[in-house]
Structure 1
C-alpha cells in the first residue's frame, strides 16, 4: 500500500511538472505579433477590394489585377497564417492532424505563388499598355486580361497540387512539425514561384522604362519643333520699308479732293466683277472652318497616348513599391 501511494504521488508530481513546463513553453510574443499581423493584412486588403468595388472611377483593368493580388493575400491571412501563429504559440510544435498540415502547406504554396504570379501579370499588363496603347482597353476587362487572371490562379494551383497527392508523405516524417518534407519539391516550388517570375518582371519593367523614355524624347522633340515654328511665325517681316523711305504726305487741297472722291465711290453700287462686294453688302462673310477628320483623329490619338503614358509614369512610381 505505501508503495502504491508513493507511485501515485510521483506520477502526480511529474504530471504537474510537465504541465508547468508546457505552460512556460508558450510563445506569447509570437501570438501577439501574429494576431496583429493578421489584422493588419485583413484590414488593408479588404480596403483595397472595397475601394475598387464602391468607387466607379477605380474599376479599371489594372485595378482588377490589384484586386486579384489583394484576394490572394487576404486568403493567406485568413486560411494559412492563423494555423502558423497557433504552431508558433506552441513553441513551433504541431499538435494537429497531418492531413490538416498537408492542406495548410497546399494553401500556403498556392496563395504565395498566386501573389507573385499576380505581380507578374500586372507587369505584363503594363507592358502591353505602353507598347500598344491604342489596342489597350483600360475600362473593361477583355479576353486577354481574363486569360491572364485565370492563368495566374491555375498555374498557382498546379505548382501546389503535388502536396495534395502525397508528395509530402516521406518516410520517418516528424509529426511534431508541419513543413515541406520533400527537398526536390522545395526546389521545384521555389523555381516556379520565384526564380522564373522575378526575371520576367525585371525584363518587362526595363521594357516599360525604355518605352516611356522613347515616348518622352519624341514628345520633347515635337514640342521643340512647334516652338521653333511659333518663333518663326512671330518674327517681324524684314521687307518693311523704314520710315525715312516713305513718301511725303499729300498737300491739304489734294488730300481733301481725294477724300471726297473716295466717299462718292463707296456710295455707288458695287462693281459687278468684284467677287466680294455683294457678300459684304448683304451680310458678314462666312468664316472658313477646317474639318479635316484626319487631323482631328491624329490630335485625339496624341491626347490618348499622352493620357496613357501619364498613367504609365505613375504606375512606374507605384508598382516597384508593391513589388518590393
Structure 2
C-alpha cells in the first residue's frame, strides 16, 4: 500500500502489495471535469457567436467562465490523479507548488469576478445614463483586469517559495504555511462576501426608490397632460373617479367618496355629466360609462360585498 501521508513509507510499496487505486474518485473526477468544461465552453461560445449576447454584463460572465475553464483544465486533473493514487502526491514538489498557486489564483479569480459583477450592476443602477450596456468600455476593462491581477497577487507567495518549509512531506501536496491559509481565506472569501451583500442591498434600495419615483412621475404626467390638452373638467373628474375606484377598499365601499354625478346602478358604477355638451350636431346627451374591464371589476366587488351580480 502507498503511504497515507505520514511520511514514513513515502512512495514505496510493500513487496507483492497492490497499489491503493481509488477508481470511484477517478470516475467522479472525470465526470466533474467534463461537466465544468462543457458548461463553461457553451457560455463562452454563446457570447462569442451571438451578437445580441455581446453586452457588458456577459463579458464579466465570460471572465468568470474562463476562470472555471482554467480550473477544470489545470487544477482538477492533478487533484483527480492524486486522489486516484490514494491521496499520495507522486509528482515533484515544484509541480505541487504550481498546482497550489493555480488553485488559489483561479478560485480567487472566480470569486473576484462575482464581486466585479456586483460592482458593475451597482454602477448601472446608480448612474444609468453614463453606463454603456452594448459594448465594453475602459471602466469594464479595468475592472476585469483588476480581478485577475488581485487574484494573482493573492496566490503569488506560493510560487515564490512559501511552501518550501524545512520538514515538508513530499508525499503530500498542500499549503504548508498556516498564516498564509488565513491570509488567503480573508482575501478570497471574507472580504468579497460582505462587499457583494452591501452592493446588492444598495441596488435593491435604489431600484425601489426609482420605481416609486417612476410611478409618481407617471401619475403626475397624466394629470398634466390632461390640462395641457384642454380636457373639460368633467373628463378630468371622471379620470379621478376611476383612479379613486381602483384605490378603494375591496370590502367596504362606503369609505369611498366620488365626485358629483357618480352613481351606482345594480353593481355597475357609471359617471353621468348632463351638463357636458358635444360639439357635433346630432349627438345626444350621453352617459359616460366605465369600460369592460372595470365593469368586470365592479361585478366582482358587488359579489364580494353581497350585491347581486348582473
TM-score normalised by structure 1 residue count? 0.66
How far off its partner does 1:73 sit? 0.3
- The alignment covers a number of residue pairs equal to 224
| Equivalent of residue 74 in structure 2, options 68, 79, 86 | 79
CA RMSD, 1 decimal: 2.0
Distance 1:234 1:192, change over 3 A: farther
Q: Does 1:181 align with 2:181?
A: no
Instruction: Determine which of 186, 202, 205 is the counterpart of 2:200.
Output: 205
* Equivalent of 1:134 in 129, 134, 139: 129
Residue-by-residue CA offset, 1:45-88 (whole Å, 9 max, x unaligned): 00000000000011111111110000000000000000001111
Which has the larger helix fraction? 1
Match of 1:240 in 2: 275
CA distance in 2, matches of 1:105, 1:131: 39
Unaligned runs of 5+ in 1: 1-13, 243-324
Q: 3-state SS of the aligned residue for 1:179? A: coil
Higher relative contact order (CA 8 A, sep 6+): 1
Residue-by-residue CA offset, 1:198-223 (whole Å, 9 max, x unaligned): 11111111111111111111112223
Partner of 1:106: 101
Which digits, 9 at most, give the CA deviation of each residue in 1:65-122, with x for residues without a partner? Answer: 1100000000000000000011111121111111000000000000001001111111
1:128 is paired with a residue of what secondary structure? helix
Query: What TM-score results when the alignment is normalised by the length of structure 2?
Result: 0.68
Q: Secondary structure at the match of 1:165?
A: helix
The partner residue of 2:60 within 52, 62, 65 is 65
Query: Retained in 1: the 8 A contact 2:234–2:276?
Result: no
* Partners of 1:159 and 1:29 in 2: CA distance: 33
Aligned to 2:15: 15
CA distance in 2, matches of 1:189, 1:133: 35
Give CA-to-partner distance per residue, 1:147-191, whole Å, 9 cap, x none: 111111111111110011110111211111101010011011111
Residue 153 of structure 2 corresponds to 158
User: Equivalent residue for 1:41?
Assistant: 36
Deviations, residues 201-248 of structure 1 (Å, cap 9, x unaligned):
111111111111111111122233345567884753779389xxxxxx
